[in-house]
C-alpha cells in the first residue's frame, strides 16, 4: 500500500471537512423535505435534523472535536465521536422500543374495544329477533 504511512496534508483535511459540511447540508435538506412531505414525523425529523446540524458544525469547525475530546480527557479525538455516536444510537433504539411498546399496547386496547363493540352489536341484534 504505497502512501499508507504518509501524513495527511492540510489540503486533504480541507477536502474532508468540505465533504462533511456538504453531507450535513444535504442531510438537513433531505430531512426537511421528508418532514414537509409527511414521510417522517416531526419528532423523528428533529432527531435527524440535530444529527445534520452536528455534522455541519463539525465540518465547519473541525477543531471543536479536538477541544471537546481534550476537555473530556480523551486522547484520540475520533474515539469521542464514536463514543457519542454509540451512546446516541443506543438511546435512539431505547426510545424507539418504548414508542413501539406503546403502539402495541394501544393497538391491543383498540382491538379489545372493537371486539366488545361487535359483541354488543351482535347481542343486541339477537334479542330483537
Residues 57 and 84 reside in one and the same domain: no
pLDDT of residue 88: 92
Residue 38 CA to chain centroid, in angstroms? 16
Angle at 93 between CA 65 and CA 100, to 5 degrees: 150
> Both 89 and 117 in a single domain?
yes
Q: What tens digit of pLDDT does each residue of 24-68 get?
A: 888 888 888 988 998 888 888 888 888 888 888 888 888 898 899
Whether 66 maps to a domain, the answer reads no
Rounded CA separation 120/99 (Å): 32
**pLDDT tens digits, residue range 69-101?**
999 999 998 899 899 999 999 999 999 999 999
Whether residues 81 and 126 fall in one domain: yes
* Same domain, residue pair 83 and 48: no
pTM: 0.67
Domain boundary (39, 61, 83) is at 61
Domain around 129 = 75-129
Number of domains comprising the chain: 2
Amino acid at each position: 500500500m504505497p502512501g499508507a504511512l504518509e501524513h495527511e496534508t492540510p489540503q486533504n483535511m480541507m477536502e474532508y471537512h468540505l465533504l462533511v459540511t456538504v453531507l450535513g447540508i444535504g442531510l438537513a435538506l433531505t430531512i426537511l423535505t421528508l418532514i414537509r412531505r409527511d414521510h417522517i414525523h416531526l419528532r423523528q425529523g428533529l432527531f435527524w435534523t440535530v444529527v445534520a446540524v452536528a455534522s455541519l458544525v463539525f465540518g465547519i469547525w473541525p477543531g471543536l472535536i479536538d477541544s471537546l475530546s481534550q476537555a473530556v480527557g480523551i486522547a484520540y479525538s475520533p474515539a469521542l465521536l464514536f463514543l457519542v455516536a454509540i451512546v446516541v444510537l443506543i438511546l435512539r433504539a431505547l426510545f424507539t422500543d418504548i414508542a413501539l411498546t406503546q403502539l402495541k399496547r394501544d393497538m391491543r386496547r383498540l382491538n379489545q374495544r372493537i371486539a366488545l363493540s361487535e359483541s354488543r352489536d351482535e347481542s343486541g341484534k339477537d334479542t330483537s329477533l
